[in-house]
Amino acid sequence: MADKNEQIDESNMPAMQRVLDNPFILLFIGILIPTLAYIVWGIMELISIPIAD
Amino acid sequence: MSNGAMFRTCPDTGLKFHRPAESLMKANAVAAVVFLLVGGFFGLLVGLTRWPEVHLLEAESFYLVLTGHGINVLIFWIIFFEMAVLQFCSSTLLGCRLATPQLAWTAWGLMVAGALINNYAVLWLGNSSVMMTSYAPMPADPLFYLGLILFAVGALINCFIFLATLVIARSERTYQGSIPLVTFGALTAAIIAIFTIASGAIILIPTFLWSVGIVSNIDAGVYRLIWWAFGHSSQQINVSAHVAVWYAIAAIVFGAKPLSEKVSRVAFLMYIAVLQIASAHHLLVDPGLSSEWKIFNTSYAMYLAVMASMVHGLTVPGSIEAAQRARGLNSGLFEWLRKAPWGNPVFSGMFLSLVGFGVLGGITGVVMGAEQINLVMHNTLYVPGHFHGTVVVGTTLAFMALTYWLVPILFRRELILPKLASWQPYIFGLGMAGVALFLMGAGTLGVPRRHWDILFSGAADGGYEFSAAALTMMSLNGMSVVLACLGGALFILIVVGSLLFGRRLDEGAKVGREMIAATPADSAYKGIGVGAITIPGTLAMVFVFFAAFVLYYFINWKYLAETWGIS
């Protein structure tokens, strides 16, 4: 019974709270954003610099 | 092992300590304090060399000591302590067993081996005086990089053990609903640590291979870009960890509950998303990166992280104020603060950390993160001034405060020299606030950051004459360093002395004073504050903070405007 109640509670949980309660979604966000915005974008800029003659 | 043998219940707090996790916390905390001692001693030597009238060390030994200072305190002390925080916030606060304690011991061993190997390369071999940034193509001994890699691998393993412990707690249902806010803050720190350490591995492994001759070239621009994803983000782990410690201490000392769990968690989420990319402010004068990249990663995205810090800066003292008012300290604006336990180093250390981090570190970080005004102080002593405000006044002081609570609770030893302990946060905090302020003052006047002799006294043209104000700042910085080191030495004396000579507390014996405050009843919160405002004192402090913020921001634009005269 307790399990059923818990399932009902979880299904009614707001989407934002589900995100905050899931450490692996948070890990994904925490890796993805800085990797794209800082590292990938930065590397693309650096490798697009023409090599001096 | 039976459940009773696996766990110990603290008689003062009711917290359940998983015994293997408890031993690991102790090992990590002890290692942290040892490296604080080593790095702090080198800090004294650096400070005495920067003091113009003393100028203690020769150039060669200065760079060696500066490298040892930076790595031992910025990386080894803080990350060892953070590993203990992660284990406490997962296993102890959730009342569950730590995942894979044997692997955690292996991780600890890797971290200790890495730290010792790195120190061996810097201090013994003497061929790795590359400072913390270790910019390629400036070469260090291969052992320098190997030590850092081993340390990083150990820390990374610990982060995944933390995540695995959360999974265990959830599957064994040792908590109801969401994880506690303090554990959520530690989760934020662990996630930032994983990004940070992975970035370190991406750049340090090829650099190690370059140092042994397997890789022919390391691109300086790429090195700087990825190294700072490691170097600056490692300080963002500290921010998340010490904010979690602030919340923990507010609950421990006052029984305070967050003003809004949702708001605090969303603020931590903003840390997870954007705090790391503030690393870009170190590259604001690098020619290979566009203004779009620089401005997005600093002046746009970074401000979201700054907003998150300001949310914590409001909610932590606000929750303390609300709890104090609920206990009856409800008169005027500041009775709650005036009658706070200022003689308790757990509280005073935490509160000085909060104010110092926000005012000294936070405001100046925003100034440095704006591309235009960054030019006023880029690569000057302003930069170490700023991070002594964030990492030392902010993080180190918060960790020191928590340690005073952990000595009886975790190590089961009574604190020795309690009177001295009540003074220690003030001595250390005042000294370090002076270091941060005077270095930033000197930096604003142009004193360079990386040169051993700011006056270039050996130069053929007679060197460079800084203004009397700049030299005065440097002398005041030297005095502040001495005061801060005295505070640091007192901390080591009290903590190590307590572990060795403090009265041993039996497992079932209480400390004899309140170690965790009861949470005031919900009904006690009704009618607190002035009029409809429940936390007027905190709001008044916030307005003072904002006024200082705006004023300081525009003063720096004025400095910039004066850099190039219009004729």
- Interface check B187 vs A, CB under 8 A: yes
Taking a C-beta distance cutoff of 8 angstroms, is the pair B391, B81 a contact? no
- Interface check B284 vs A, CB under 8 A: no
CB contact under 8 A, B293 and A42: yes
CB contact under 8 A, B191 and A27: yes
**Ordered per-residue pLDDT tens for chain B, 567 residues:** 566 689 999 999 999 999 999 999 999 999 999 999 999 999 999 999 999 999 999 999 999 999 999 999 999 999 999 999 999 999 999 999 999 999 999 999 999 999 999 999 999 999 999 999 999 999 999 999 999 999 999 999 999 999 999 999 999 999 999 999 999 999 999 999 999 999 999 999 999 999 999 999 999 999 999 999 999 999 899 999 999 999 999 999 999 999 999 999 999 999 999 988 889 999 999 999 999 999 999 877 778 889 999 999 999 999 999 999 999 999 999 999 999 999 999 999 999 999 999 999 999 999 998 888 998 888 899 999 999 999 999 999 999 999 999 999 999 999 999 999 999 999 999 999 999 999 999 999 999 998 888 888 888 888 888 999 999 999 999 999 999 999 999 999 999 999 999 999 998 889 888 899 999 999 999 999 999 999 999 999 999 999 999 999 999 999 899 887 766
CA-CA distance, B312 to B270, in Å (whole number)?
11
Chain B contact set for A34 (CB, 8 A): 195, 229, 233, 274, 276-277
Of B273, B279, B280, the CB nearest to A33: B273
Residues 6+ apart with CB under 8 A from B476: B434, B438
pLDDT at position A2: 44
- Interface check B136 vs A, CB under 8 A: no
pLDDT at position B440: 96
Q: b vs e for B132-153, b when ≥16 Cβ sit within 10 Å of the residue's Cβ?
A: bbbebeebbbbbbbbbbbbbbb
Three-class DSSP category at B17: strand
pLDDT at position B114: 98
- Interface check A22 vs B, CB under 8 A: no
Give the helix ranges, DSSP H, for B218-274.
220-231, 233-254, 261-270
Q: What is the CA radius of gyration of chain A?
A: 21
Q: What is the residue type of B271?
A: Y
Distance from CA of B329 to the nearest CA of A (A): 34
Distance from CA of A18 to the nearest CA of B (A): 9
- Interface check B211 vs A, CB under 8 A: no
Of A21, A23, A45, the CB nearest to B163: A23
pLDDT at position B564: 76
Using alpha carbons only, give the angle B5, B28, A34 rounded to the nearest 5 degrees: 115
Query: Please, which residues 316-355 of chain B have a Cβ atom closer than 8 Å to chain A?
Result: none
pLDDT at position A9: 63
CB contact under 8 A, A35 and B274: no
Q: Is a pLDDT exceeding 90 seen at residue A30?
A: yes
- Interface check A13 vs B, CB under 8 A: no
pLDDT at position B64: 96
pLDDT at position B464: 87
Q: Which residue of B has its CA nearest to A50?
A: B288
Taking residue B469's Cβ as centre, other Cβ atoms within 10 Å add up to 12
Distance from CA of B226 to the nearest CA of A (A): 7
CB contact under 8 A, A34 and B195: yes
Taking residue B255's Cβ as centre, other Cβ atoms within 10 Å add up to 19
Q: State the angle between helix axes of B468-501 and B397-409 in degrees (0 to 180), rounded to the nearest 10.
A: 10
Torsion on CA atoms B311, B315, B317, B318, rounded to nearest 10: 130
CATH match for B18-231 among 3.90.1490.10, 1.20.210.10, 1.10.1040.10, 3.40.50.720:
1.20.210.10
CB contact under 8 A, A39 and B296: no
**Kind plus residue range of the DSSP H or E element containing B144:** helix B142-171
Chain B contact set for A38 (CB, 8 A): 225, 229, 276-277, 279-280, 297
- Interface check B272 vs A, CB under 8 A: yes
Q: Which residue of A has its CA nearest to B283?
A: A42
Q: Which residue of A has its CA nearest to B273?
A: A30
How many residues are listed for chain A in this entry?
53
Q: Which residue of B has its CA nearest to A38?
A: B277
Chain A contact set for B99 (CB, 8 A): none
Distance from CA of B272 to the nearest CA of A (A): 5
- Interface check A27 vs B, CB under 8 A: yes
CA-CA distance, A17 to B563, in Å (whole number)?
50
- Interface check A7 vs B, CB under 8 A: no
Cβ burial of B223 (10 Å; 0-12, 13-18, 19+) is buried
Find which of B187, B277, B284 to mutate to test the A interface (most A CBs within 10 Å of its CB): B277
- Interface A-B: count of C-beta contacts within 8 A: 83
CB contact under 8 A, B191 and A35: no
Residues 6+ apart with CB under 8 A from B263: B311, B315
CB contact under 8 A, B195 and A24: no
Q: Is a pLDDT exceeding 60 seen at residue A5?
A: no
- Interface check B296 vs A, CB under 8 A: yes
Distance from CA of B429 to the nearest CA of A (A): 32
Tokens 């925490």 sit on residue: A30
Distances in whole angstroms, Cα of residue B458 to Cα of each of A12, B69, B215, B346: 73, 25, 37, 48
pLDDT at position B154: 97
CB contact under 8 A, B226 and A39: yes
Of B222, B266, B276, the CB nearest to A46: B222
Of B187, B188, B276, the CB nearest to A38: B276
Distance from CA of A34 to the nearest CA of B (A): 6
